[in-house]
Amino acid sequence: MSPLAITACTLTTALGAGNAATLAALQAQSSGLAPVRFENLPLPTWTGEVEGVDAVALPADLSDFDCRNNRLAWLGLQQDGLRDAVAAARARWGGRRVGVFLGTSTSGLLQTEHAYRHRGADGALPDDFRYGPTQNTFSVADFAARALGLDGPAWVVSTACSSSAKVFGNAARLIEAGLIDAALVGGVDSLCLTTLYGFNSLELLSTQICRPWDAARDGLSIGEAAAFALLERDATTPPQGWMLGLGESNDGYHMSTPHPEGAGAIAAMRAALADAGLAPSDIDYINLHGTATPSNDAAEDAAVGAVFGTATPCSSTKGATGHTLGAAGGVEAAIALLAMRHGLMPGGLNVQQRDPALHLDYLVANRVAPVRRVLSNSFGFGGSNASLVLGAAS
């Protein structure tokens, strides 16, 4: 593919709202994870909850969209001049030539959970419950497009944890086909009971803070996030970075367990490198999917080793943000851009003892060095895999 300019990018996670807060936390190697407070759940686990989401007020003309997921999206859209950048792209290309492609896994499911708590005696849901603009999976893209005055193609990808990486490919293909000239991509996923109890039922939640690549890792910590990037056919000013390539695969190995040898992950990484016209040695840093479940980390270690060998520095940032599910690909793309702009390979947090069975050059402390190209992995349930290659601005 031809490189696409990333002219704006932002993320809001448990580390804070915006790029500056995220960078400061990464540089300090501090985590946003804490024992679960959300909804006063009795689960013994840790979460990455974004502060202040419940207090966010949507604009009056968008009040029908009011739910936690869209409040989180609105909070994220306010950061790092993103709305101004989108307005400039709209003025340059026209609102119909700017697409909106976002990833999510549960959308506004919490709103439906609340509605079920307040059913009438006959079981009817409350009259003020609006499924369409809240829980409906398309809700977040519809909300963002309306909030930003965009009339181009818009949709949501919901392929679990690969969702907001795959939307980069959606945008690239439509731009290459000449159907649009720019696109807002990324993802939003907010905490809800179904997610937390669902992962708990699968015995995938850790009772402690998650520890990717640790010998005693025993599960993940769920987070929430909003991440957005603006892709354009070209840039009139120096961009924040470049989208160089994307690889996708679906190995269909198991509904919730990765292929033990990482077959689909290998295919996605090789396809991403081929799309970017790069060799494995051209990648300076790999942001791993790295969820801290025993099977995920082992499979990804094997897959990355098969493509890159064991010398490329890599780490998972989920020990800082938690696993933000449908938003993870967008979050980690934004972190990759920060890594390149500031020469920072972030160390993976919470490792007490490296797993001797894993062989990658997994960083447990920050490494300050030039970072020109990053590969970021996002691997979802059902074997839905995406690997994204990003390049530095200059």
- Helix %, strand %, coil % of the chain (to 5): 40, 20, 40
Range 316-343 average pLDDT: 98
Query: What's the CATH fold of domain 4-391?
Result: Peroxisomal Thiolase; Chain A, domain 1 (3.40.47)
Nearest one of 145, 131, 54 to 102, comparing CA atoms? 145
Q: Which residues pair with 184 in a beta bridge?
A: 100, 230
Of 67, 192, 210, 323, the active-site residue reads 323
pLDDT per residue over 341-391, tens digit each? Answer: 999 999 999 999 999 999 999 999 999 999 999 999 999 877 789 999 999
CA 292, CA 215: separation in Å to the nearest integer?
A: 10
Asked if the model's pLDDT at residue 65 lies above 80, the reply is: yes
Q: Which residues pair with 384 in a beta bridge?
A: 250, 380
Residue 244's pLDDT band (cuts 50, 70, 90): very high
Q: Which residues pair with 386 in a beta bridge?
A: 248, 378
How many of the other CB atoms lie within 10 Å of CB of 132? 11
For residues 314 and 288, the answer to whether their CB atoms sit within 8 Å is: yes
Of 9, 192, 259, 289, the active-site residue reads 289
Does pTM surpass 0.95? yes
Q: What's the pLDDT at 262?
A: 78
CA 349, CA 318: separation in Å to the nearest integer?
A: 8
Asked if the model's pLDDT at residue 245 lies above 80, the reply is: yes
Of 9, 67, 114, 161, the active-site residue reads 161
Residue 1's pLDDT band (cuts 50, 70, 90): confident
pLDDT per residue over 255-289, tens digit each? Answer: 666 677 778 999 999 999 999 999 999 999 999 99
pLDDT per residue over 3-36, tens digit each? Answer: 999 999 999 999 999 999 999 999 999 999 999 9
How many of the other CB atoms lie within 10 Å of CB of 87? 14
Q: Give residue 237's identity as a one-letter amino acid code.
A: T
Burial class, 261, CB count within 10 angstroms (exposed 0-12 / middle 13-18 / buried 19+): middle
CA 375, CA 332: separation in Å to the nearest integer?
A: 10
For residues 222 and 12, the answer to whether their CB atoms sit within 8 Å is: no
Q: What's the pLDDT at 149?
A: 98
289 belongs to the catalytic site: yes
pLDDT per residue over 93-146, tens digit each? Answer: 999 999 999 999 999 999 999 999 999 999 999 999 999 999 999 999 999 999
Identify the H or E element spanning 166. Answer: helix 163-176
Nearest one of 30, 70, 8 to 226, comparing CA atoms? 70
9 belongs to the catalytic site: no
Nearest one of 138, 185, 223 to 5, comparing CA atoms? 185
SS3 at position 384: strand
For residues 275 and 375, the answer to whether their CB atoms sit within 8 Å is: no
Q: In angstroms, what CA-CA distances link 18 with 128, 266, 390?
A: 33, 32, 20
Q: Give residue 61's identity as a one-letter amino acid code.
A: D
Domain map (residue ranges) of the chain: 4-391
Residue 90 DSSP one-character state? H
Q: Give residue 388's identity as a one-letter amino acid code.
A: L
Q: Give residue 313's identity as a one-letter amino acid code.
A: P
Measured in whole angstroms, the distance separating CA 181 from the mean position of its chain's CA atoms is 23
pLDDT per residue over 167-196, tens digit each? Answer: 999 999 999 999 999 999 999 999 999 999
Nearest one of 224, 150, 160 to 185, comparing CA atoms? 150
Please give the residue that has the higher pLDDT: either 118 or 254.
118
Q: Which two tokens stand for residue 222?
A: 């769920």
Rounded to a whole number of angstroms, the CA Rg of the chain reads 20
